[in-house]
Amino acid sequence: MDLQLSGRVAVVTGASKGIGLAVVSTLLEEGAKVVATSRKSTPELDALAGPNLVHVPADFMDEDAPAQVVARAVEQFGGLDILVNNAGGPPPGVTLPRGSFLHASDDEWRAMFEFNLFSAVRAIRAAIPHLLERGGGAIVNISSGNARQPSPINVDYGAAKAALSNITKVLSGEFGPQGIRVNTVSPGVVRTPWWTDEGGVADMIASQAGTDKDSVINTVVPEMLNLATGRFVEPQEVADAVVLLASPRSGSTTGAEFVVDGGLLKEL
């Protein structure tokens, strides 16, 4: 299926690994021009180098960074059609999961909202005028299953993502008549470096459970969360949903939430 993305310009945040990297790769395969932003590049992102890819190093804890990245995309490729707000997770200095709601300080709450909510708000604010100049476009916000299934071990993260999901609905109503579609993708547990890296969440759980990282990823967590598929979500599976929502082929889809979670969420 032709997703009609050839020549369209996209900004992808948190683009150096995991879901963001998979989104960048898929957009490039569909012929899009991509500005990928992250604090630093990775060998995996560097391997995608070509005339349709520009990496812009940026720290989205800096309130000026989102607008600067959007401006670079317009300068480099002449406009903007797609914004994927993927940057998120624990900001620098904050460790997840937590043991309790009581373990998060005010400063950690502020940092979590700065990275997971306000950076996306600033990117959207910078992107909308350029999307309107093109007659519309698509914004895809990466939320989380924790936005709808609250967890005391990720309470501040879940609250920030719930706010992002709320904003998606508001924006879809205000800017839909002007051609801008805004949607949410909510992943569950995804096989990303946050889980798999040395010292990552899988290692933390393995230490507590007296087992090894592979067992945590392949058995312990899927069983603990009662995942219908029995396995973690792969980054590419999330990226496929993101790119479909970014495509004009999803022209009547706005204000929607696409859940890609392996059956984590059980409620209607």
Q: For the segment 150-160, what is each residue's pLDDT rounded down to a tens digit?
A: 888 889 999 99
Token pair of 235 as six digits = 């980054």
Tell whether the model's pLDDT for residue 226 goes beyond 90.
yes
pLDDT at 180 over 90: yes
Residues designated as active site: 157
The predicted-structure confidence for 38-95, as pLDDT tens digits, reads as follows: 999 999 999 999 999 999 999 999 999 999 999 999 999 999 999 999 999 999 888 8
Contact 4, 247 (CB under 8 A): yes
Residue 119 pLDDT > 90, yes or no? Answer: yes
pTM for this model (two decimals): 0.96
Q: Are 35 and 76 in contact (CB under 8 A)?
A: yes
pLDDT value at residue 98: 85
3-state secondary structure of 182: strand
Mean pLDDT for all residues in the chain? 96
Query: Do 148 and 218 meet the contact criterion of CB atoms below 8 Å apart?
Result: no
What's the CATH class of domain 9-190+234-260? alpha beta
pLDDT of residue 18: 97
pLDDT (mean) for 31-35 = 98
Res 167: pLDDT = 97
Q: So what's the pLDDT on residue 93?
A: 84
Q: Do 59 and 117 contact (CB within 8 A), yes or no?
A: no
What three-state secondary structure class fits 79? coil
Map out the domains of the chain as residue ranges. 9-190+234-260, 193-232
Torsion over CA: 182, 155, 37, 196 (sign):
negative
Model confidence at 224, pLDDT cuts 50, 70, 90, reads very high
